[in-house]
């Protein structure tokens, strides 16, 4: 039975096993409404692919279900940036090849084959994120147990689970993946900033911003990695000055990733750079800048972060309890959390539309895994067995709660966005009645 024991000790085996399990589960969740995989915002991220490869003309893209913007010629201009479509490209081409060989018209690019391909793309992206997150945590010498507990909390204990298995056409699973890869790559860059590592860093940074421009805020971790004091910050800038040529390579690689988007904007609007979200709120977009809706973003029944993913509070507590541990980046991550929250709370739609929980934090969980691992390690080291296992039981329940809420979210009738959407006593009672019903 040595071979069996060796399998049980092989982390790669369990990570590989997770992929088909996730793919099969996600297939079941989206089967009732496959078109929903490429609907609204999801269609916006996806539309670059059929525009280029099926229609063959970006000027002829129909409005579809996305929030379409138009140029002076009345042509649809995709407001969403193209970073997600980079990820989806091989899956899209696979679906197109299948449709071509089975006589399905290329104009039918929302059929079940394309929808399933895009669903699989989101699952694979999240799985790759977990794989690289596992590698990043292992490089920090966390034990096998703490590493796996961290992955469970990050994936099943947050709304990352929802955006991997139900709304995988959204951008969040893809951003999570790239943040995890970046977290794994940063130690290599700072240990050896050669041309290869610099180009990889540039590609990752450019791609991350191209998926969601607001991702530029968490990219503060790149220059502030392992910086925990003003003296360390000063030393970091001096080090940057010594490797300025490699930094130019980082910028050049990032621009290569963004350049196709700039070409699209130039073609459609005559501008190389475009703020495509302007005027969304009819008034100023950041209308709450002077009085941000921070409490609402964190606690409101309409997508409040801690209400739907309470274990994110554990991540924030991990930043505080590991404040002095440079390797866990707690100071920088807490700063990123605060700045991001302020920006989200200033946006006119601070709840970010019909979502499960506050979806704008999902990609940040890759970075927040570091202080999460730190606080889980602290809990595991507690001398009181009663306190330790009580806390672990609470974490297990909140993980279960997050998964069940995601499932119930898709079954609860009524709108999940707009003026009519609020938690009323009937909805709360319905959720608690069904929380433990399977």
77, β-bridge pairs: 69
Task: Look up tokens 């390797």; give the residue.
Answer: 327
180 close to 136: Cβ distance less than 8 angstroms = yes
For residue 422, the model assigns a pLDDT of 62
Which pLDDT tens digit goes with each residue over 372-397? 999 999 999 999 999 999 999 999 99
Q: How far apart are CA 187 and CA 135, in angstroms?
A: 12
- Give 68 or 86, the one with higher predicted confidence: 86
Summarised one tens digit per residue, pLDDT across range 310-367 is 999 999 999 999 999 999 999 999 999 999 999 999 999 999 988 889 999 999 999 9
Ordered by start, the domain boundaries in the chain are: 2-434
What per-residue confidence (pLDDT) applies to 423? Answer: 64
Kind and range of the H or E element at 76? strand 76-77
DSSP codes joined into one string, 193-256: --HHHHHHHHHHHHHHHHH-GGGGTGGGHHHHTT--SHHHHHHHHHHHHHTHHHHHHHHHHHHH
Residue 111 or residue 418, greater confidence: 111
Q: For the ranges 50-59, 129-138, 339-348, 412-421, which has the lowest average pLDDT?
A: 412-421
- What long-range pairs does 269-278 form, CB within 8 A, spacing at least 24? 269/71, 269/77, 276/69, 276/77, 276/78, 276/79, 276/80, 276/81, 277/79
Q: How distant, in Å, are the alpha carbons of 45, 131, 354 from that of 40?
A: 9, 29, 11
Per-residue tokens: 405: 């809420």
């Amino acid at each position: 039975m040595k071979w069996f024991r060796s399998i049980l000790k092989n982390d790669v085996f369990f990570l590989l096993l997770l992929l088909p399990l996730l793919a099969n589960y996600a297939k079941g969740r989206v089967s009732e409404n496959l078109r929903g995989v490429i609907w609204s915002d999801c269609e916006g991220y996806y539309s670059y692919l059929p525009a280029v490869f099926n229609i063959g003309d970006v000027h002829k893209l129909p409005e579809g279900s996305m929030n379409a913007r138009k140029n002076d010629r009345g042509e649809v201009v995709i407001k969403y940036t193209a970073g997600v479509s980079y990820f989806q490209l091989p899956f899209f081409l696979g679906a197109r090849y299948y449709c071509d060989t089975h006589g399905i018209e290329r104009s039918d690019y929302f059929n079940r084959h394309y929808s399933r391909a895009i669903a699989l793309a989101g699952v694979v992206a999240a799985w790759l994120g977990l794989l690289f997150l596992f590698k990043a945590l292992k490089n920090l010498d966390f034990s096998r147990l703490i590493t796996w507990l961290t992955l469970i909390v990050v994936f099943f204990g947050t709304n990352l689970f929802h955006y991997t298995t139900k709304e995988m056409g959204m951008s969040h699973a893809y951003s999570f993946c790239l943040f995890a890869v970046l977290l794994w790559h940063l130690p290599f860059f700072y240990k050896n900033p050669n041309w290869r590592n610099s180009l990889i860093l540039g590609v990752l940074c450019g791609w991350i911003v191209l998926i969601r421009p607001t991702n530029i805020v968490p990219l503060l971790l790149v220059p502030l990695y392992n910086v925990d004091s003003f003296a360390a910050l000063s030393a970091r800038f001096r080090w940057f000055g010594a490797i300025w040529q490699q930094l130019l390579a980082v910028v050049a690689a990032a621009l290569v990733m963004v350049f196709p988007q700039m070409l699209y904007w130039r073609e459609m609007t005559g501008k190389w750079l475009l703020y495509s979200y302007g005027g969304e709120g009819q008034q100023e977009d950041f209308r709450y800048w002077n009085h941000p809706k921070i409490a609402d973003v964190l606690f409101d029944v309409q997508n409040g972060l801690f209400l739907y993913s309470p274990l994110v509070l554990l991540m924030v507590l991990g930043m505080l309890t590991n404040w002095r541990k440079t390797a866990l980046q707690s100071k920088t991550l807490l700063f990123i959390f605060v700045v991001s929250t302020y920006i989200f709370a200033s946006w006119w739609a601070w709840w970010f539309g019909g979502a499960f929980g506050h979806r704008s934090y999902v990609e940040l969980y890759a970075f927040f895994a570091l202080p999460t691992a730190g606080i889980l390690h602290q809990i595991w080291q507690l001398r009181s067995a009663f306190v330790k296992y009580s806390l672990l039981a609470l974490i297990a329940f909140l993980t279960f709660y997050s998964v069940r809420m995601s499932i119930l979210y898709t079954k609860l009738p009524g709108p999940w966005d707009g003026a009519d959407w609020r938690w009323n006593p009937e909805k709360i009672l319905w959720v608690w009645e069904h929380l433990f019903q399977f």
